[in-house]
Amino acid sequence: MTGSLFVVGLGPGPACWIAPEAMEALNAASDIVGYQPYIDRIPERAGQLRHGSDNRVELDRAQHALAMATEGRRVAVVSGGDPGVFAMAAAVFEAIESGDPTWRSLDVTVIPGISAMQAAASRLGAPLGHDFCAISLSDNLKPWSIVERRLRAAADGDFVIALYNPASKARPDRIHQAFGLLRDCKSESTPVAFARAIGRDDERIVLTTLGGAEPGLADMSTLVMIGSSETRFIDRPGRTPWMLTPRSYGAGR
């Protein structure tokens, strides 16, 4: 087959955070496929076709891209953040696994991007300096009971927890339920950060504690960082504190 497919991570927002390899793939693509707001972030190029779609149609989007690649086109499927983190890389390979057997012969390349978790951590200081985990609060593709089980396990393991997809119009209460569960498992003094739209004009960071947090601050543009028992704030006179999870467990106790 002469066609190819690139799964490209655009990072959280600013163009300066898009990797050079990703820009090369986007510039060379005959077709760009993705969620329309992500496509809108890419400068238009003459002769390049753009195939925008709504949210929640990831598998259809992947199948469309693979079908065009089998026709000999050079297709770029775009994701915000990193395509391998709750994003389009999994959808593409799920489509390959269950779809047209010829898709397995395609040249498919995943190009990484800066994840929302990494972008938030860079603004906060060093919250991911020790063991951490990422959990999506979306229960569109998994039962909420599994989310609760994983939150309890993460709290029991004393991980720093990065919460993706914390709230949407369709499920505004899940973030409140998650905080209620974690407050039963962790100290109320645990540091918490709400990092919204990192790298964009409407960026906002709120630092608080597990006991004092207002879960309603979170939306789908927010990454919520919940510390471990070791995580702490470093005060800075007149400036926003840093959030630190030290590399050595138990050393600061």
Tell me the per-residue pLDDT of 48-76, one tens digit each, with 9 for 90 and over. Answer: 999 999 888 999 999 999 999 999 999 99
Hunting for tokens 């990797």 — which residue is that?
19
**Tokens standing for 18?**
């898009």
- pLDDT for 168 equals 85
DSSP annotation of 5? E
| Spatial strand order in the sheet of 132-136 | 132-136, 160-164, 222-226, 191-196, 204-209
Out of 95, 114, 133, a domain closes at 114
- In this predicted model, what pLDDT tens digit does every residue of 3-31 receive, in sequence order? 999 999 999 989 999 999 999 999 999 99
Instruction: Judge if 208 and 105 occupy the same domain.
Output: no
Instruction: Judge if 128 and 155 occupy the same domain.
Output: yes
- pLDDT for 4 equals 96
- In this predicted model, what pLDDT tens digit does every residue of 180-236 receive, in sequence order? 999 999 999 999 999 999 999 999 999 999 999 999 999 999 999 999 999 999 999
Q: Which amino acid is at 131?
A: D
Instruction: Judge if 138 and 166 occupy the same domain.
Output: yes
Please state, in angstroms and as integers, the Cα–Cα distance from residue 174 to each residue in 20, 136, 152, following that order. 37, 11, 15
* Number of domains comprising the chain: 2
Q: Is residue 252, in this structure, part of any structural domain at all?
A: no
- pLDDT for 25 equals 97
Hunting for tokens 């951590």 — which residue is that?
121
Which residue in 61, 62, 34 sits closest to 50, CA to CA?
A: 34
Which residue in 71, 64, 72, 76 sits closest to 32, CA to CA?
A: 76
CATH code assigned at 45: 3.40.1010.10
CB atoms within 10 A of CB 150: 15
Instruction: Judge if 168 and 82 occupy the same domain.
Output: no
Mean per-residue pLDDT, 246-252:
86
CATH code assigned at 155: 3.30.950.10
Reply yes or no on whether the pLDDT at 85 is more than 70.
yes
Reply yes or no on whether the pLDDT at 253 is more than 70.
no
Number of H helices, E strands in the chain: 7, 13
Range of the domain at 128: 117-244
